[in-house]
Every structure is written in C-alpha cells, then in structure tokens.
C-alpha cells in the first residue's frame, strides 16, 4: 500500500473546508491544518477529522508534509507560495494569485528553477462543459480557427449572484466587489479560450445596491456590485464579460456564436448546455446536441488533478502560475481604467 501523502492546509476559512472535504475522498491522504488563529484551525480539524498545528511554520518545517493548500487572504499568497517552494513543498493556492498592486513575475523564475508543482484555483476550467468548449476551440483548430465551429464571431461570459452573504465581499478594504469575486473567473475562461486578450475596455462599473442586509444587520457597501468589460481575442473575436452581485438567483453561462453554429454552456444543472451546428463536424451532427455530463463535483475534480500532478510529477495542463500572471496583467488593466 502506498504511504500516506501528507498535505498541509494553510488558512481555515470557508474555502479550506471545501478543499478538505475533496481531499478526504482521495485514498491515502492525511491532512494537517493551520491558521493565524489556532482556535479556528482546531475547530475545523475536529469538524473534518484532520489534525492541526499551532503555526504555519510547523507545517513548512515538517519534512513529511509534501504539499500545501493555501486558503489565506490574497495579499499573503505570494510570500506563502515562495516559503512553501523554498521548503520543498508542492502548492495549491486559491485564486487570485495576488493583489493587483503586487508583482507576481518573480514566482515564474522561482518555479522554473525547481521541480515544484504550483496550481492556482480557477475552478471553472474543470467544469466538463467548459473543458469541451476549450477542446473544440483551441485543441481542434488550425491557425486559431475551430474545425468544428469555424471562426468564432462573438462570445459572452456571465456570472451573477445576489451577494449579501458576508460583509467583506462588499467592502473595498477587504478585497470585495464583483471584480475580485466574480469577474476574474469569467475573464480567466475568456483568456483560456481566446487569449491573449487585447483592447480591454471597462464599459460599465457601478454600485447599484449600496445598502445590504447581512446576518440581520444593515451594512453600507462601497465595493462595486456590477461590472462589464469588452475585449478582443484571437482572430478578432469580440468578447463581453459581465459579473455582478445583484442577481437574485445565482446565474452563470458562456454563450458563443460562430460561422458554423453556437455554443451554450453553464455550470448550472438547470441551465441549457448545448452545441448547435449548421454542418456536421468533429463528431457532432448538424442541429442541436445537448451537453449533459450529469452532476460533477468540480472541487473534487480540481483536487484530484492536483494530487495526480504531485504523484506523477507531470507538468500541469492548466491553472499554472504562468496562466495567472497573464490574467493578473489583464485584471490590473481593468483596475487601472476604473481608478483613472
């Protein structure tokens, strides 16, 4: 039997528990938790059946810990990744890689000089319907033209939710707002499909619901709750990305129109996902083909991909630090336009 793979969890908030539950489904994994507040780590350890320690340093200095999962506030990510790499650990880090004011470029060179696996948690890339779109757009193409769809003529990426779950998500000082929480996911998908993105333009940016009721108390929000950008990708495809914290019921989809048909995809089971083709191509018939993959826990898929990369030592095919550095430049430009 394979010796247990010991994973350290750094930061024990809401995101950490999702990763812990997924990791516990994988055989021969043991977990040790830490948080800046040891009581939080202890409580989550008791809840999930993991062990815990009083400090991050204990995890980083433990030679039995082969990898860490970083679920701390964004400004701490770069330093923790560097410390983990220098301690010989593989790394999974929650998105985004860093704040827009920070420079993540030094990580690229640091990773290049080691054999460490470093994955950043952009989970929408692991949704089966979006993986299929990537395959048809990028992998089955010649000179950027899809062999199935032909030239993509337009693309729309949408993600909306009501917000009002946690105060920090509506405060600028704590990194809240529709850009950090929502838009970054859709821009990442757009860049995955059509990058490098260019001519980025913020066409709408607003705070439409400044008063929020959270945990029974009224709070005043100061972070944006609506944003839309327009940009262009390979072969001049015009792309719109919209994100908001005002949609009453969670809504997410990607819609594309092309010379030979359409694509509609969503992470939601109650939203239609399909390919419509004018002409049969790439194994798809003419007409409408529903894309139904059944329920898939993308958190499980993402964590399994990370563990497999650790065990096989194969390079990641997505969610690399290099991917996030490219995304960081795009998001920095969006922030620059807003601040201007």
Alpha-carbon gap, residue 148 to 277, rounded angstroms: 8
Residue ranges, CATH 3.30.360.10, the chain: 128-295
Residue ranges, CATH 3.40.50.720, the chain: 5-123+301-317
Instruction: Say if residues 115 and 130 touch (Cβ distance below 8 Å).
Output: no
Tell me what pLDDT residue 1 has: 44
Q: Give the global pTM.
A: 0.93
What does the pLDDT average to over 253-260? 98
What does the pLDDT average to over 286-308? 95
Percent of the chain residues past pLDDT 70, beyond the cut: 99
pLDDT tens for each residue of 2-19: 578 999 999 998 899 999
What does the pLDDT average to over 90-98? 95
- Identify which of 36, 56, 332 has the alpha carbon closest to the alpha carbon of residue 202: 332
End-to-end CA distance of the chain: 59
The tokens for 121 are 């948690």
pLDDT tens for each residue of 155-195: 999 999 998 888 888 998 877 899 988 999 999 999 999 99
Instruction: Say if residues 306 and 23 touch (Cβ distance below 8 Å).
Output: no
Percent of the chain residues past pLDDT 90, beyond the cut: 86
Work out whether strand 90-94 and strand 65-70 pair parallel, antiparallel, or are unpaired: parallel
Domain 128-295 has CATH 3.30.360.10: yes
Residues facing residue 239 across a β-bridge: 155, 231
Tell me what pLDDT residue 112 has: 87
Residue scoring higher pLDDT (109 or 30): 30
Segment of 168-172, 213-217, 307-311 carrying the highest mean pLDDT: 307-311
Q: Give me the architecture of the 5-123+301-317 domain, per CATH.
A: 3-Layer(aba) Sandwich (3.40)
């Amino acid at each position: 039997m394979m010796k247990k793979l010991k994973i350290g969890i750094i930061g024990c908030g809401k995101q950490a528990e999702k990763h812990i539950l997924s990791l516990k489904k994988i055989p021969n994994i043991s977990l040790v938790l830490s948080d800046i507040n040891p009581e939080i780590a202890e409580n989550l350890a008791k809840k999930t059946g993991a062990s815990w320690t009083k400090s991050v340093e204990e995890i980083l200095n433990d030679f039995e810990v082969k990898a860490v999962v970083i679920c701390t506030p964004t400004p701490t990510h770069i330093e923790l990744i560097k410390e983990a790499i220098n301690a010989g650990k593989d790394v999974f880090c929650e998105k985004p890689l860093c704040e827009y004011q920070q420079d993540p470029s030094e990580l690229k060179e640091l990773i290049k000089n080691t054999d460490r696996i470093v994955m950043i948690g952009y989970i929408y890339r692991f949704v089966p319907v979006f993986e299929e779109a990537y395959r048809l757009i990028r992998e089955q193409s010649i000179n950027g033209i899809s062999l199935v769809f032909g030239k993509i003529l337009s693309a729309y990426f949408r993600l909306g939710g009501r917000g009002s779950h946690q105060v920090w998500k509506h405060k600028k000082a704590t990194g809240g707002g529709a850009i950090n929480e929502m838009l970054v996911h859709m821009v990442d998908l757009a860049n995955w499909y059509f990058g490098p993105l260019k001519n980025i333009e913020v066409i709408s940016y607003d705070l439409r619901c400044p008063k929020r009721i959270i945990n029974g108390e009224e709070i005043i929000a100061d972070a944006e709750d609506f944003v839309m950008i327009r940009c262009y990708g390979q072969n001049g495809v015009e792309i719109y990305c919209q994100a908001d914290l005002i949609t009453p019921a969670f809504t997410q989809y990607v819609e594309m129109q092309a010379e030979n048909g359409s694509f509609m995809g969503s992470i939601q089971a109650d939203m239609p996902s399909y390919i419509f083709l004018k002409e049969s191509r790439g194994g798809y018939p003419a007409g409408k083909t529903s894309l139904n993959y059944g329920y898939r826990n993308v958190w499980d898929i993402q964590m399994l991909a990370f563990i497999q990369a650790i065990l096989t030592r194969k390079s990641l095919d997505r969610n690399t630090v290099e991917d996030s550095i490219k995304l960081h430049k795009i998001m920095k430009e969006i922030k620059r336009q807003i601040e201007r």
